[in-house]
Amino acid sequence: MKRRIVIVAFIMAININLGIAQEKLLSLIPYPQKVTLVDNDFNITKSVKILIDKSDKEMLRLAEVLNRSLAQNLKITSKARVSKVIEIAIDKSLAKSSEAYQLIVNRKNVKITAANYAGVFYGIQTLHQLVEGDLIKGVMIEDEPRFKYRGLHIDVCRHFFPVEFIKKFIDVMAFYKYNNLHWHLTEDQGWRIEIKKYPKLTEIGSKRAQTKIGHYGDKLHEFDGVPVEGFYTQEQIKEIVAYAKGKYINVIPEIEMPGHATAALTSYPHLGCKGEDYKVAENWGVFHTIYCAGKESTFKFLEDVIDEVVELFPSKYIHIGGDEAFKDHWKECLLCKKRMEEEGLKDFHELQSYFIQRMEKYINSKGKQIIGWDEILEGGLAPNATVMSWRGMKGGIAAANMDHDVIMTPGSPCYFDNYQGPKSDEPLAIGGMNTLEKVYEFNPFPKELPTEKHHFILGAQANLWSEYIKTEDHMEYMAYPRACALSEVLWSSEKKSSFEEFKNRMKKHYEFLDAMNVNYFDKEK
């Protein structure tokens, strides 16, 4: 009895001592909500077994995930009475958030429990980070995410990235407890998803002849003469979606409308207001090409595309873009003007809103919800839309105040295509400056938003636009370590550690990234 009191007092002392202001935390990212050190490490030997309910197929799969992440091949058993075990189990009584877990490591056992499989998966990620050789640090962890949407976006249109790379990108996301991959699949510079009903989208729209050299703002107007092409077959898409699901990552496809449609219109010119003269874009920036909002054939086409998309993606959300749609072609189009008259629309913003709302209705009829960039607020927000706030936080604030869900991805600091170090030292980027520290200090809850509206902020996301990112190495270099910092913003307590302390923990994570063969920016190396 006496001994127990001493042990409890000891644990409490360490726990208090471990307040987040403490000098040195364990090298965990994102840092768990509650960590208590136990002076009692677990030694992984050959006799250790993984204890699970073997009749549970998903748990069996997770036991294999655990073995891989520990770089072990431990026997898997259902027999509770073996001596040293790493146990993973579902415990419905633990239900806090659906992604919560508990992890206990002591000399005899390791135990991960969660109300759901996702929690078990996150417990395994944390365990992976606690391993030093054959030792696992003694701890008691209670953890759950601060935000339910933790996303990264990847643009595979400006430059194409193959299936194997997308899988690797997903691996690293999972390690940092991200749960949404926003896959930007259609653009002016390339259409990258096979649509069986419209084969020209990939026969024509997935290819561009060349790319402008240098920054798009440069006066020099030279092209490299190097063709860029690539798309994902539907089989490959299914493969990636299933792969991500195995890591508890939802994949959200983005099919852009009504703007950013040059590749689609090059493939099927009758869908534009002009009906001709389109070419898959070879330069960056915002183009005037736009789907005609007056033609029924536009909606038929987009509905057909959505029909195939919803079959491929189990995601509750379909992203419909909605950003940067110049209305010049609409202004010159008799059919678009006729549509406005018939629908009583007073300006071209309302015509865009008509367009988005009509597509929302269709997508809702398929049991899905739309996400759109914050321009979808203009001319009237579609009734069930989630808004992705990219032009700062104001679109997100407006949407949350209208009781709409919001995902925060403000250019500063969530655009990871921006510079992260002095321009003179860095590869060409679009502009801006989003340093690691700026990302770490980001708070997805804007000061201006009343607390009672905070629950509309589902979370945040960083975006990796690929105009200037041509290679896999460069993509990773722009993503990491900034995505480590954002993972902590999204998962850890709002009262997280200091940036200095985060940088300390990052040292170990450069080793993890090395082990995963992931490239990264590291100013201090």
Binding of residue 323 to ligand ACM (CB under 6 A)? yes
Shortest CB 306 distance to ligand ACM, Å: 20
Shortest CB 174 distance to ligand ACM, Å: 25
Judge contact between 99 and 64, C-beta under 8 A. no
- Nearest Cα neighbor of 215 from 411, 419, 428 is 428
Alpha carbon separation from 480 to 223, 435, 473 (Å, rounded): 30, 11, 11
Shortest CB 402 distance to ligand ACM, Å: 20
Three-class SS state of 153: strand
Query: Considering CB under 6 A, how many residues would be counted as binding ligand ACM?
Result: 4
Judge contact between 227 and 208, C-beta under 8 A. yes
Shortest CB 335 distance to Zn ion, Å: 5
Q: Which spans of this chain sit near Zn ion (rule: CB under 5 A)?
A: 273, 292, 294, 333, 335-336
Write the binding mask 217 to 246 for ligand ACM: x where contact by CB under 6 A, - elsewhere: ------------------------------
Binding of residue 161 to ligand ACM (CB under 6 A)? no
Residue nearest to ligand ACM (CB): 323
Q: Which of ligand ACM, Zn ion, none sits in contact with 323, Cβ below 5 to 8 A by type?
A: ligand ACM
b/e per residue 107-121 (b: at least 16 CB within 10 A): eeebbbbbbbbbbbb
Shortest CB 323 distance to ligand ACM, Å: 4
Residues 390, 442, 520, 521: which binds ligand ACM (CB under 6 A)? 390
Q: Which of ligand ACM, Zn ion, none sits in contact with 104, Cβ below 5 to 8 A by type?
A: none
Binding of residue 468 to ligand ACM (CB under 6 A)? no
Three-class SS state of 324: coil
Distance CA 379, CA 353 (A): 5
Shortest CB 352 distance to ligand ACM, Å: 14
b/e per residue 302-328 (b: at least 16 CB within 10 A): beebbebbbebbebebbbbbbbebebe
Binding of residue 324 to ligand ACM (CB under 6 A)? yes
Which residues, at least 6 apart from 118, have a Cβ–Cβ distance to it below 8 Å?
A: 98, 99, 179, 248
442 Ramachandran zone, left/alpha/beta (phi>0; psi -120 to 50): beta
Query: Would you say 96 or 349 has its CB closer to ligand ACM?
Result: 349
Q: What angle do CA 382, 387, 389 make, to 5 degrees?
A: 140
Q: Number of helices (H) and strands (E), helices first, in the chain?
A: 17, 22
Shortest CB 372 distance to Zn ion, Å: 20
Q: Which of Zn ion, ligand ACM, none sits in contact with 501, Cβ below 5 to 8 A by type?
A: none
Q: Which of Zn ion, ligand ACM, none sits in contact with 430, Cβ below 5 to 8 A by type?
A: none
Residues 327-386 that bind ligand ACM (CB under 6 A): 373
CB atoms < 10 A from the CB of 3, how many?
7
Q: Which residues bind ligand ACM (CB under 6 A)?
A: 323-324, 373, 390
